[in-house]
Amino acid sequence: MDSMTHPSWKKHIPLIQSGYARDVLLKTRALRKTRTIFPEDGKVFYALDILPFDHVRVVILGQDPYHGEGQAHGLAFSVPQGITAPPSLKNIFKEITADCACPETRSTDLSDWAEQGVLLLNASLTVEKGKPGSHKTLGWHLLTDQIISELSVKRKNLVFMLWGAHAQSKKNLIQPDNHLVLTAPHPSPLSAYRGFLGCRHFSKANGYLKTHGVSPVIWA
């Protein structure tokens, strides 16, 4: 477990310190004996490995990892390079292009965002193949809620992007006076045209960061 996350998360997140996160991981390992679970074991905590706690600038919250073969790799909304962008990611790119006048073509692997301080966190860190929401009662939500809460309490001037009803249900974990909270419909094709497209969250995030003396994120 210690080798799967950056040490700073263990320092700041009590449920990692206590071994709770390890116990939930062990549950998924037991399930892998008879079921296909995404992402692969070594990528479950990738979002917390690639980005230290103190380097977070933006939080984008997803619900589940992708449940299709080869898609999930531990970062919300991201898929490995070479994998076709899922519909939600295509709409995210469409909004970035319109909002920031960025090129339309870019990598589907959002690791470069994470390296710039964007925490791409799913509420559930694992999922069973073909079964969205299958691990919502496994215990991950307690951990990821605490991550959001501890970032809100211990950091200042972060940007939280909450897309869709599930992400917005976490709004009460965030202290709005200390951070920028942006809400919009989910980028899924079922809801993107109800307000995600045109929300301008990416330029708003960069404007807020610059106002507080923080370098903007290069989105493309």
Q: Do 90 and 59 contact (CB within 8 A), yes or no?
A: no
**Cα gap 175→152, rounded to integer Å:** 6
Counts for the chain of helices (H) and strands (E), in that order: 9, 6
Which listed residue (23, 49, 64, 109) is catalytic? 64
Nearest to 76 by CA among 116, 29, 121: 121
Distances (CA, A) of 210 to 46, 215, 216, 217: 27, 6, 6, 10
64 classed as catalytic: yes
Residue 61 contacts residue 123 (beta carbons within 8 Å): yes
* Sequence-separated (6 or more) residues with CB below 8 Å from residue 171: 162, 181, 183
Q: What's the rounded Cα separation, in Å, for the pair 147 and 176?
A: 16
Helix (H, G, I), strand (E, B), or coil: what is residue 119? strand
Dihedral through CA 135, CA 139, CA 143, CA 148, nearest 10?
A: 50
- Paired strand residues for 62: 122
Query: Which residues carry out catalysis?
Result: 64
